[in-house]
Structure 1
Amino acid sequence: MGLAVGAALGSGVLSARAYAQAGETITVLMSQPQVGGARIVAAAFEAETGVKVEIVPVPLDQIQQQLTLDLQSGAKRFDAFDYWYISKGSLVETGVLEDITDRIEADADEIMPEDFIATVYDPYSLYNDRRYALPFDGDTHALFYNTEIFERNGLTAPKTWDEVITTSEAITKAESANGIYGMALMGIRAPLQNISVFANRLANYGGEFLDADGRPALDSDAALMAAQNLVATVPSALPTPAETGFDQALTAFVGGRAAMTEGWIDLGAYSEDNETSKITGKWDVVQLPVGGSQTESRAPLNAGWALGIAAYGSKKDLAWEFIKLASSAKMHLDLLTTTGSGIDPTRISALTSPEYEAFNARSQRAASASLNGAMAWPTGPQAPRMLESLSEQLAIMISGESTPEEAMELAQKSWERLLR
């Protein structure tokens, strides 16, 4: 019996109605990056209740398409699902995401909503003052670096975005002849990737995607400085940033071919994996650098996944029990300390736990930035289209076909049109 399965048994999270339906089956739609964690939860749920769980994996950008098709076709196959939190408003407005406010309030003692990191809980679940989900995976970025390469070049971890550029340039100049570059930069056209590296800079130059009134803020000085810094990082980065996605960046970093990369917290587990990593014991991680007048690091919510109930489903009570277990404090801690689960912190208790520190103290230190006023991405009904538009402009900019000024101006105008 695995640790996570054992932790679920007698967890005190599940209601009696879950045990009364042994032999039933629920179907859960999951984005590919969270499938490993979902299967651990499914095994635990089945072991405790006798209810079978079918996990249906899909590419992360197809969740909403699959749910809409499921509803409109009349198949109504899915009972629960995970979603990238930026699609929250769109999922609510299209009628596929169930309001679970009353369920959360009724089961508050088991759920312990006050334990969720506040800057994660609201962006993931709150829409028009109602709750629609429970957090599952609290994705933020940190700056990972290869200590061996840094020591060889007499360098220390950069604290500012300008230092990131000079550090990357120094390493690339000294070691590119041996196939080693200063930075693996995720510049590929995909919102989850090239907007993440832009958001890392935007948050830490003091910017926001939207202003306090919900208007686009890509015409701000902070947005322009973030874009300029991103472009200035390209020449010394692993070739070719416009074609570099997560898989390429991860492979280069754990393979010792990139001295730095901006990545999700669980990159620490990959870096220390004796079977796949060439840099075990030779890496470290720090909170994101700052820029401009900023003095304190701030983590943007790059990705991040929540679990909801299909509003059209016929097994809502069982779906609720499943997502309660998946997001529970005990289960979250076990997933957080399991290599390959794909799960990053969503709960204060797990983030600050001695178990997480023992599992990966370096990642725990970096992840603590998520408690520091994390910057959310747009989550309104138009957010998916807005982010596709921004990703397109960033890709053009990173490839050298436009300037930072042009990219931010065009993205700003696109967002203004979408929000009219």
Structure 2
Amino acid sequence: MTVPPFSRRRALQLLGLAGGAAVLAPALAACGSSSTSSALPSTAPVSGRFEGVTLKLLVNQPHVTSFRDVLAPKWAAATGGMLDVTASPYDQLTSKQILDVQSGTGEFDVFDYFYFGLGDLVDAGALTELTPWIDANAKQIGVDGYLKSVYDPYTLLDGKRYGLPYDGDIHILFYNAELLDRYKVAPPTTWDEYDEVAAKITTDARGAAYGAIVSGQQVPMILGCSYINRLTGYGGNLFDDNGKPALTSDASIAALKHLVAVAPAALPTPLQIGFDQANTAFLTGQGALLDTWTDMALRAEDPTASQIAGKWGAVSLPVGGTNTTPRTALDAGFGLGVSTATKNADAAAAFITWATAGPQNLVTSSTAGAGIDPVRGEVLDSEGYAKVVTKAIGPIRQGLNGNPLVWPKQAGAPKLLQDLVDQLALAINGSQTVEQSLDNAQRGWESAAT
């Protein structure tokens, strides 16, 4: 393969991880779009024995349990191979994967990648193209079994495939049924009702609990999800029918206004609430409403980790304005890809086939703390999965079987998404109006498009 030359300047760009994905734009602009890599041969295996082979994985921090505790022992039993799992914070994952390849370190064989970082990874020459291999082995891989809502978004870029889907990742709305009953309110179906429920509980509870938990940490995976959940609720999209940014649409304005307006009724302080803080607050009964990933169903029902076991519920994301059809988004989903720096391509190819197959997808999706949602129809439709997610199965199936909004994933997408959430945060903290923030984001996205 050929990768752009590595330099001290590029190392500093990629190591500037405090800004998360935002550091990637200048680096990737310098790389251009001319990176090429050899494709995995169509003859590469989809299974086999791999005694003595240790695959090194660089994965999203919330997925560690799924790889280390669930899959590693099963992979060893099935193939004789070993897994060495390294976790990265979610706001550093894509940049660390690129750095591993372009620095020449080449430590890792398999990447657990954000799908919205796919373009940056490919542009940087970090992911092996899998198209010939997938096409030649489609039946053995079980391509037809992947959910249509996630297969292309998570693996396909400019007509070529670079991975297999691993984590479905949509949001639904969870609620604390005990709090709703105590304060005599019903689960909301619209964002207006959500506001009313949140305000009443926060007011009446007088500090004992909050009506809403709004995840607002200033990274795409957190604040980006909260905004996009409301955007879809109001019937909006990130782009219009002509592919142009639509960040100043009526739906977009309504979505951000909602985030601003609900802040006083939310767990303090939304812009400081990340994944772990939101989960802890909900599981300890501090908040009544939380839009988050569907694996919360397993966490909430686990009495060893939750104080609300048996006292929660879930519905589809609310709607707003003139929109009456619930719709979710593919909020920070993941695929598994083979690093271009791997020296264990055969074992890596076999692993991503095995790890995304039905039996493994079922066990990871059914394990509390694994952080995995279904990517296969057989898992989503199974009685086994329905049994563990209990009351959440309806909205989960509705979301993944529907037409979820797909985030941008071309080269530079993480930078655009970071720029967007930076502007959203300025509106939420009162530094700018909603309209100013969205106008700024719109101009930035339009400029990048030209």
Shared fold (TM-score, shorter chain, > 0.5): yes
| Cα distance, 1:314 vs structure 2 | 2.1
2:339 aligned with 1:341, yes or no?
Answer: no
Deviates more, 1:206-215 or 1:82-91: 206-215
Q: Which runs of 5+ in 1 are unaligned?
A: 1-13
2:159 is the alignment partner of 1:129: yes
Structure 1 Cα separation of the partners of residues 168 and 326 of structure 2:
17
Distance 1:17 1:217 in 2: 44
Tell me the SS of whatever aligns to 2:57. strand
Residues 126 and 366 (structure 1), Cα distance of their counterparts in 2 relative to 1, 3 Å cut: same
- How far the C-alpha of 1:326 sits from its partner, in A, is 0.8
**3-state SS in 2 of match to 1:300:** coil
Can you list the C-alpha shifts for 1:230-256, whole angstroms capped at 9, x where unaligned? 211112111211222222221221111
AA at the equivalent of 2:169: D
1:17 shift after superposition? 6.3
Inter-partner Cα distance in structure 2 for 1:28 and 1:147: 39
Gaps of at least 5 residues in structure 2 are 1-43
Deviates more, 1:162-171 or 1:359-368: 359-368
Give the number of equivalent residue pairs. 405
1:243 and 2:272 are equivalent in the alignment = yes
Q: Post-superposition shift, 1:257?
A: 1.3
Which residue, 170, 177, 194 being the options, matches 1:164? 194
User: Matched residues in 2 for 1:289 and 1:17: separation?
Assistant: 43
Does the alignment pair 1:213 with 2:232?
no
What TM-score does the superposition give when structure 1 sets the normalisation length?
Answer: 0.93
Q: Indicate the SS of the match to 1:277.
A: coil
CA deviation after TM superposition for structure 1 residue 16, in Å: 7.9
Contact 1:41 1:325 in 2 (8 A): no
Deviation per CA, 1:266-293: give whole Å up to 9, x if none: 1111111212211111110101011122
TM superposition shift of 1:42 = 2.3
Q: How does 1:63-212 map to 2 (within 5 A)?
A: 63-175=93-205, 177-212=206-241
Contact persistence 1:298–1:370 (CA under 8 A): no
CA contact (8 A) 1:382 1:419 kept: no
Which residue does the alignment assign to 1:5? Answer: none
Moved over 3 A (4+): 14-17
- Pick which of 203-212 and 137-146 moved more: 203-212
Q: Deviations over 1:86-122 (max 9, x none)?
A: 0001111111111111211222222221221112111
Which residue identity is paired with 1:124? Y
Please name the residue that 2:311 is paired with: 282
User: What is aligned with 2:92?
Assistant: 62
Is 1:377 matched up with 2:407? yes
How many Å separate the matches in 1 of 2:48 and 2:65?
A: 23
Q: Does 1:253 align with 2:299?
A: no
Amino acid at match of 2:218: R
Amino acid in structure 1 at the alignment position of 2:240? D
327, 344, 356: which one pairs with 1:298?
327
Structure 2 residue matching 1:60: 3-state secondary structure = coil
What CA distance in whole angstroms lies between the structure 2 residues aligned with 1:275 and 1:22? 36
1:414 pairs with 2:450: no
Matches within 5 A, 1:263-412: 263-368=292-397, 369-412=399-442
Q: Name the aligned partner's letter for residue 72 of structure 2.
A: A
Distance 2:71 2:139 in 1: 20
2:39 maps to 1:27:
no
- AA at the equivalent of 2:402: N
Q: Deviations over 1:128-173 (max 9, x none)?
A: 1111111111111111111111111221111101110011111111
Within 1, Cα distance between the matches of 2:271 and 2:58? 31
